[in-house]
Chains A and B, each alone.
Chain A
C-alpha cells in the first residue's frame, strides 16, 4: 500500500446505530397496520430499504407480498395495502387512483401511506383534493440517513440537486436540517460548524432551530466539526472524468446504494453478479482510492500473495491442514472470489479506458482545466457532437468548457448548440434552458472575460435591485470564476512536472495530477485556517454565504484536541462524487483527520447532467 496510515488517526463512530433506529421505527410503523398486508415500495427506496430491513424481516411483520411502485393499476388481492414512498406528488396521485379505482369497484381495503423521510403538506393536500384523505392513514418514516460505508452516509435523495438548484424548491432543505439534527443528537454535540452556500446556510439554520426546540443533553461528542457545502459552489469537479478506481466503477457500471451489478463481461460467466462495494470487501478497500493506473499492479501482487497463501498447504501435516481449512481457507476463498471480480472489472475498464479516444478525452479535459489550447478543445467537442459519440458526454464537455472559460463566446455558443440540437434532437432546447439557468452552460457577455471581478461586484448590486425571481436563485452561480479561483487556490498544478501517481503528493492525484478538486481544497483551507479569514476573495468569487460558527457554549472544549475534534463531518448538499470522497480520505491520512461524508446522494457527471434533462415521458 502506498499510503501510510497515521497511527493516531481517531476511530470512526459506529453508524450502524442509524440503521437500527430506522429499522425499529419501520417495524413499529408496519405494526400500526395489524394483520397481513401487501407492501408497495417506491422504486428508488428499494435498495435503501434492503440495507435496513431485508425481506425476511418484513415478512416477519406480516408483510405478504412486495411490489414496486410502477404507476400502473395494481393486482394485489390483499385487504390491506401499505405504501412506502417518497413524498412525491406523482406517487401520491397514483395512490389516489388506486384507491378511487377500488371505490368504483366497490372494494373495501385499508390503506396506509408511509412517507419517507417525511410527508409534505402538498401530498396530504392532494389526498384531500382527491377525496380519499379519510380513507388512508399516513405516517412518516424518518429514515433520513443511510450509512453506505464506514465513512459515507447518504440521504438517498437524488432529486435534491434538481429541485433545489434548478427549480428553487426548498422543501428538501428542512430534510437536510433534520438529518443533521439526527446526527447531532446521536453523535454530537458538534463544536464547530463551517459552511458555504445558500442552501448550507438554510440547512444550518433549520438544524439550529430544531436543536433549540428539543432538549439538550450533555454528552461526549463523537463528531466534533461539521462542514456544509453546496454542490453549486463547485460544479467543475463532478463533471470531470473519474480515474480513481471507485469513481471509475461508478462512472462505468453505476454503483447503486453501495452495490454494483457486474455484467457477464466482467464476471466471465453467464449471469451478472451484484457485489457490495464497501470496506468489508478487503480487496476493494485497498484499491478504491487508487489511481486506476496503479490498480492493476496491485491486483497482480495480491494474486501472487494469494497463491502463496494457498501454496502453504503443500508442506502441511494433517493437523495443520485441519486448522488451515477451518480458519484460513474460507477467508482465502472469499478473497479469491473478490479478487477475480475486481480483476475482471479492471480488465473491462482497461479495454474501454486505455483506448485512443479516452486518452484524447482526458487530454481535452486537462487542457480545459489548465486553460490551454481552447480552440483545439472546441473542435474536439465539435467532432464529438458530430459523431454522436454520447449525448451526456458531449454535454459534459460543453459544460466543462463553459465553466472553465466563464461562458462560451457567443459565436461558439450558438454553433455548438445548433450542432448539438441537430445531433441529439430539438428537445434539448429545454435542457439548454435548464443548463443556462443553473449556470452550467452560458454565453459570455461581451467584454467580461478580463474584468470578471469588477463586473461581478456590479452584478451583485444589480441582482438586488432587479427583483426578477429567476435571478434570485439562478444567477448566483452563473459565473464560475474558475480561472481566478484556480490561480488563487493553486488548483491546477504546473503540468511540466512529472506527477508520480504511485506516491501522490496532493489531492490532485484523483485527477491524474491535473486538478485539485475545488470542494476538497476549500475544506482543507478552512480547516487549516479554522475559519474563512484570508479567503475573503475566494468566497466573494464563490458568491459568499460562508459561515463559521462555534456551536457549543463550552468554547473551552475547542482547545483540547480530543479525538472527536479530529473527526469532521462533511455534508454535500446536492451530491458528491466518489473521487471527492477519495480526495478527502487522502487529506485525512495526510493530516491525521477522519472525514465522514454525508451527501444527499452519490453523484457523477452522468447523473448530474441527466437530472437536467426534461424527460417528456
Chain B
C-alpha cells in the first residue's frame, strides 16, 4: 500500500500521477519515429502510418491499426495518395486525410468504407495541415490549404463544407491553430506570428489574450481543452499562457524556460480539477505546468504521442502506454501520507481488522466519534473507482463494505453499482480487449456506447456477457449485439448460404426485437441475394420484408408478401413499383393473379387514369365491366353523337358478355335518345330524361300522339301508362281529356285512382281558396308522394301564407 503514492508528484496543491496502462504488444522497430499517429480518445484504437525505411518510389507506406494495448487489428500497404493526417471518428472509423483533400474512411479492421472530398479548390492547392475534431454534431474535419484558406466540415456524416474567410497577411500555414466549438458554432483560432485571430463563418477577428507577457513575439503552439473551455498558448519566449477559450480570463502564465517549440501540447484536466494543467512534450522531456509556478518534469526515453482524455492525458510510446492524470481528491484523501480523512481511517481500520488486531476498533471508534462513517464509506467507494489496479480496488471496496456494516441506513446502490462498473471496466481493460477506460470516461460515454464499441471490434461474446451482467433490456442489449453479429456473419463469403441462415436463426431465434430484414439487407449488400431471401423468411413482419424484396427485384414475391401483410399501403407501393418496372402486359398479368392488388389499382385508376382502367378490362376480357365503363363514359359526353357511339360500344361489349338484358336496355336508351333529339328540334328539352319522365313531359305539353308512339315502341306496361296519363292530366287540370281518356277503354288500374285524383284536387282547391291552415294540412297529409308536384307546391305555399296570418 505504501507504494501507491510512489508515482505521485505534487503540483501546487494537487498531485499528479503517471500510471502504466499497458506494455505495448506491438513490435515496432523504430518506435513511433517517422510515423503519422492517431489515437482515439476514450481508450480507442491507434492508427499508424509508417513511412518506408528507404524512401524510394516503389516502397509504399504501411497503415497499421492497433488496439490501445498494441494488439494488431489491421495492417496493409497504403496505396492511395500521400496522407497528411489521420484521425478517428466518434464511431471508431479511421479518417485518412490526403494531400489532395480526399478523405478516406476505413473501419477498425482496415476495410474501406467510403470517401469524400474537402472541395475542388484543395486539389490544386494541397492540404498543408488538417485536424480532426469532435463536437456535439459529430466528427468534423478542418484543413488549411496551400492558399492559406481554411475549410471546415462540422459533421462528416452530413457533409457541408464551409470555406472560412481569408486571414489577412497569412502566407502558407499559420504557426499554429486549433478548432473551437463555442456557442453552437465551430470556429478556428489561429496564430500567425504574434497575432491571434478567430475565424468564423463570416469574419476573421484579431484577438489578444488578456495578460499575455510582452516578451513573446510569436505564438508557437496552442491547445484547447477536451471540453473546448480552456485554451493554452505557448510562446517563443518559453512562456505558457493559460486562460479560458473565449479569451476573456487568464488563469495563469508559467515560464517553462524552454525556448524550443514543443512537439505537442495538451490539456490535462479532470472534472472538478483542483489544479488544471497543460502537458507539454518535447523530444526528450514531458512537462506538466499548472497555475502555480512549479512544474513537474518527466524525461521521455522514447518517441511518444499524447492523447487528451476527459480526465487526463494518455502517453503512447513505442513500448509503453501510460496515463497521466491529477490524483482525484478522494484518492488523495485516502492515500496521502499521514492523512486523517475518514476514508483513510476506515482503510486503516479494515487493515487492522484483517490482521485481527484490536486497533481496528480504535480506528473505527475514532471515525464514529466524528460521525463521519458514511463519508468514509463514500470516499472508499469513490476512490475504488479511480484506481486502476484490481487489487487496490478490492482493498478499498472491502474497507467500504466493512464500514457499511456499522451503518444502519446506508443506501446500497452506490456500492453495488460501483462493483458492477468496476467489473465491466476491468474486463474491457483486459489486455486482449485493450480499452483502457477510466470510470469517469465510462460514465460519460454510457454503457450503450461501450457496447457499440465492443461490437465494432467484433467482441460479440464479451458484449453479450456485459449486457446480461448489467441486465440491459434485450432490445437495447443482447438483441442489438446479436443483430450486429448476424450482419457480420452474413459477410463471411466462404460459408454456404444454408449454414449461415441456419446459424443465424439458431442464435437469434429466441431474442426479442430482432429485425431480420436488416440482416437480410446487409446480406444483399454483400451480393448474397439468395441468403437474403432465406433470412427474410424469418422476418415475422411482412411490412419489413417488402422493401428489400423490391430492391432485390423479387417483385412477385414482394407483392404476395405485401398482400399477406394486409397493409394496403404496402401493396400499393409494390403496385406502383411494378407499374414503372414492367411493361404493361406483364403488369396487368401480374395484377390479374392478385385480386387484392387489382382492386386497389382499379380504385386508383377510377380517380386518376380512366384509360388504364379500360385497358385493364380489355386485358381481362371483362366485357361486362367494359360495357359499364362505356355507359359511364357516355354520361360525361355532352355531344349526342359521341354519346350514342359510346353507348353503341357498350352494346357491343354487353353482347360479348352475353348480357342480353343490358344490351337491350342500352339499345333502348339509344332509341330513346334519338327520339328525344327529334322532339328537341321542336323546342322540347327532353334530352337525358328517363322514359317515364319523357312520357310525362310529353303528356303535359299535349304531345299525345308522340306519347302514344313511345308507349307502343317501348312496350310500356298499360298500368304504368294509365297512371302516368292520369296524373299528368290532373296536373294540367285537363278534365276534358281526362274524361275522354277514362272512356277510351277499360282502365287497367281500375277507377279508384281517378276518384282519388278528383277528390284530392277538389279538396285542395277548396282549402286553398279558404286559406285555412288546418284544412290544407289535412289535404297534405292525404297526399301520397305520387300526387303531382305542382299541386303539392301550391298547397305548401298556401299553407305557409296561411300560417303567417
Contacts and interface: CB of A to CB of B under 8 A. Distances in A.
Contact of B690 (A89, A126, A425, A473): A425
A171 B608 contact: no
A317 interface: no
Interface string A457-472: 0000000000101001
A16 interface: no
A121 B569 contact: yes
B607 A170 contact: no
B599 to A, nearest CB: 4
Contacts of B572: 120-122, 125
B132 to A, nearest CB: 34
Given A426-B690, A429-B662, A174 B567 contact: yes
Interface residues of B, number: 51
Interface stretch (A234-242, A385-393, A539-547, A584-592): A385-393
A355 B635 CA distance: 38
B359 interface: no
Nearest to B719: A386
A240 B119 CA distance: 77
A121 B565 CA distance: 15
Contacts of A390: 785
Given A120-B572, A387-B723, A422-B714, A169 B785 contact: no
B377 to A, nearest CB: 39
Interface in B630-665: 631-632, 635-636, 661-662, 665
Interface in B719-744: 719-720, 723
B595 A472 contact: yes
Of B593, B716, B785, most buried by chain A (CB within 10 Å of CB) is: B785
A44 interface: no
B293 interface: no
Would you call the interface of chain A mostly helix, strand, loop, or mixed?
helix
A139 interface: no
Contact of B692 (A169, A423, A430): A423
A473 B568 contact: no
Contact of B595 (A93, A418, A473): A473
Contacts of B714: 422
A174 B543 CA distance: 13
A213 B566 contact: no
A31 interface: no
B661 A417 contact: yes
Given A93-B607, A389-B785, A171 B692 contact: no
A422 B669 contact: no
B508 to A, nearest CB: 17
B720 A386 contact: yes
Given A388-B786, A423-B692, A173 B595 contact: no
A422 B599 contact: no
Interface in B763-805: 781-782, 784-786
B628 A430 contact: yes
A281 interface: no
A205 B781 CA distance: 53
A202 interface: yes
A270 to B, nearest CB: 9
Given A386-B719, A424-B690, A429 B784 contact: no
A125 B566 contact: no
Contacts of B570: 121
Given A169-B600, A387-B723, A389-B786, A213 B541 contact: yes
B704 to A, nearest CB: 19
Would you call the interface of chain B mostly helix, strand, loop, or mixed?
helix
A429 B666 contact: yes
Contact of A426 (B603, B607, B665): B665
Given A89-B604, A163-B603, A421-B665, A357 B690 contact: no
A427 interface: yes
Contact of A429 (B595, B631, B672, B691): B631
Given A422-B714, A424-B690, A433-B628, A473 B599 contact: yes
Contacts of B573: 121
A170 B596 contact: yes
B371 interface: no
Interface in A161-190: 163, 167-171, 173-174, 177
Contacts of B602: 167
Contacts of B668: 426
B260 interface: no
A375 interface: no
A576 to B, nearest CB: 23
B717 interface: yes
Contacts of B556: none
Given A169-B599, A389-B786, A469-B598, A433 B624 contact: yes
Of B541, B602, B607, most buried by chain A (CB within 10 Å of CB) is: B607
B336 interface: no
Contacts of B593: 467
B566 A206 contact: yes
B596 A171 contact: no
A186 to B, nearest CB: 23
A181 to B, nearest CB: 13
Contacts of B693: 425
Contacts of A423: 690-692, 720
Contact of A383 (B599, B690, B719): B719
A1 to B, nearest CB: 31
B592 interface: yes
Nearest to A173: B566
B318 to A, nearest CB: 53
A599 to B, nearest CB: 21
A169 B597 CA distance: 9
A97 B153 CA distance: 41
A412 interface: no
B636 A167 contact: no
A209 B595 CA distance: 23
B576 interface: yes
A382 B628 CA distance: 25
A148 to B, nearest CB: 27
Contacts of B569: 120-122, 171
Of B599, B620, B628, most buried by chain A (CB within 10 Å of CB) is: B599
B599 A167 contact: yes
A216 B628 CA distance: 50
A430 B632 contact: yes
A357 B595 contact: no
Interface in A380-436: 382-383, 386-390, 414, 417-419, 421-427, 429-430, 433
Contacts of A469: 592, 595, 598-599, 620
Interface in A333-367: 351, 355, 357
A518 B254 CA distance: 97
Contacts of B567: 174, 206
A414 B661 contact: yes
A173 B714 CA distance: 46
B692 A202 contact: no
B608 A126 contact: yes
A171 B568 contact: yes
A90 interface: yes
A614 interface: yes
Given A202-B566, A357-B784, A423-B691, 8 more contacts: A121-B569, A170-B566, A171-B568, A386-B723, A418-B665, A426-B631, A427-B631, A427-B635
28 contacts: A168-B596, A170-B566, A170-B568, A171-B600, A173-B566, A174-B566, A355-B782, A382-B717, A383-B719, A387-B723, A388-B692, A389-B785, A414-B661, A422-B714, A423-B690, A424-B690, A425-B689, A425-B690, A425-B693, A426-B669, A427-B635, A430-B631, A430-B632, A433-B624, A467-B593, A469-B595, A473-B599, A614-B632
Interface of A: 89-90, 93, 120-122, 125-126, 163, 167-171, 173-174, 177, 202, 205-206, 209, 213, 351, 355, 357, 382-383, 386-390, 414, 417-419, 421-427, 429-430, 433, 467, 469, 472-473, 614, 616
The 7 closest A-B pairs by CB, nearest first: A168-B599, A171-B568, A425-B690, A616-B635, A469-B595, A386-B720, A121-B569
